[in-house]
A and B are shown apart, each in its own frame.
Chain A
């Protein structure tokens, strides 16, 4: 199943946020979206995920979702969005309660998602008892439980410390390894973008337009190799050179506002 951004425009009141943004995410592909602060990355993701109606243009799906998918477009949120009154287990089960799955099937799905994210031993814990990294793992387990075709990840690591970020990045690489799941990965961290994405969509400053689409010419497995560090750094620099001037302008704009 492909996800298509088709000339998406959005404005909040008199403020133009997105301007004719178009790109495609093919089945199993990981596309990162980067750009200066306030360029509309998260707004774009909300539109792609159907949580926000665009002012013009549209988000489209092409092709059938996987047969067993319960929620083809599934978000992983920056702030985890866990229900604080539910245990880890209940949080993961939450998106399944209204589906046609029976209790025993739900149990199997939840157990599987907890196992894949290393949360089996924490199933009875409440979110407040977990570290930031563990909370995000719960958010990922919840997303995996509905067997998504495309994960919509809104800066999923930005609230975490660098060590936890590194560990979760490895988890993402493993989860996306078999190509059964695609992702749109919004980030301001260029290292994350080149490490995870097949292509990086660079947005201009507000109103966000597609400035460039950079293809990462390596498999994700290759990027884990120590010899690839140099190439990845060069790609990061290339992306930074595309964003730098606009990031400075955006920063000035915020200061003058």
Chain B
């Protein structure tokens, strides 16, 4: 009996059989529509819950109510007024913080002295929540736009400086040595080797600083502003106008998406060689 079983086994082993495939997984692909379909499903369920009365509209207004609120805000002009203030603050703060961050980041990346001093300061000051400095900035700069813009600029500055000097550090040294071997002057090495080499990291930094700027503008406007999306969201919350509150949140989300798309375009244009 045992012999027969052994013979069967030997016969089975002698037969050719396919090699088992073991290479599946660990290779997630990007699906073009799945994200949108998932989002549409969530919105549909949310709308259904609102329309069927499963949730109180005061606590969670339906998507259609939010769309109507946005439409009314746009018609009345309030949306543009609030949005333009926020965009002005974000734009000014982001530009100031980015310019300062790029200069300091390049300094740290290229100079031993600047690196020694700069990294210590950045390490000490980067973790501070910048919004906590707003009262101090109001004291220094007054109650106008300056402290809000300065708060955003500070938040943007640190992330930009870090991404720039990390980018400079990541430029392959062999390219710098190659340029030096051809006697290319320092400023041309910075412009033609280090800047393009650091650009991927700098643009990745822009993505982060755009979010930081958005976060800080809302916080700053909630603390001390009459106009701006942050101020609008706070007012709507105080008046229990949750449809308007969420309208503000949706506008912020759309604004973030538009900025992200802009950075994507910039990356496609400037990093086409990758």
Contact = CB atoms under 8 A, between A and B. Distances in A.
A24 to B, nearest CB: 21
Contacts of A62: none
A74 B184 CA distance: 12
Interface in A44-99: 49-51, 71, 73-75, 77, 79, 81, 83-86, 94-95, 97-98
Interface in B150-202: 174-175, 177-185, 188, 192-193, 196-197
B36 interface: no
B273 interface: yes
Contact of A128 (B180, B181, B273): B273
B174 A95 contact: no
Question: Is chain B's binding surface mostly helix, strand, loop or mixed?
Answer: helix
Contact of A94 (B177, B192, B273, B274): B192
A126 interface: yes
B27 to A, nearest CB: 22
Say which size band chain A's interface belongs to: 20 to 34
A153 interface: no
Interface string B118-142: 0000000000000000000000000
A97 B181 CA distance: 14
A66 to B, nearest CB: 16
A85 B196 contact: yes
A77 B183 CA distance: 16
Contacts of B184: 94-95, 97-98
A46 to B, nearest CB: 8
Contacts of A71: 181-183
Question: Is chain A's binding surface mostly helix, strand, loop or mixed?
Answer: loop
A85 B273 contact: yes
A203 interface: no
A98 B196 contact: no
Contacts of B193: 83
A95 B175 contact: no
A128 B180 CA distance: 23
A98 B183 contact: yes
A146 interface: yes
A74 B181 contact: yes
Contacts of B175: 81, 83
Contacts of B181: 49-51, 71, 73-75
A224 to B, nearest CB: 30
A86 B196 CA distance: 10
A98 B185 contact: yes
Given A71-B183, A83-B192, A126 B177 contact: no
B158 to A, nearest CB: 27
Contacts of A77: 174, 178
Contacts of B274: 84, 128
Contacts of B185: 98
Most central of B185, B188, B192, B197 by chain A CB within 10 Å: B192
Given A83-B193, A85-B196, A95 B182 contact: yes
A98 B188 contact: yes
Most central of A71, A73, A74, A85 by chain B CB within 10 Å: A85
Given A71-B182, A84-B273, A128-B273, A97 B177 contact: no
A74 B178 CA distance: 9
A45 to B, nearest CB: 11
A84 B184 CA distance: 17
Nearest to B181: A75
Nearest to B273: A85
8 contacts: A51-B177, A51-B181, A71-B181, A77-B178, A84-B274, A94-B179, A94-B184, A128-B274
8 tightest Cβ-Cβ pairs between the two chains A and B: A95-B182, A81-B178, A85-B273, A75-B181, A85-B196, A81-B174, A126-B273, A98-B188
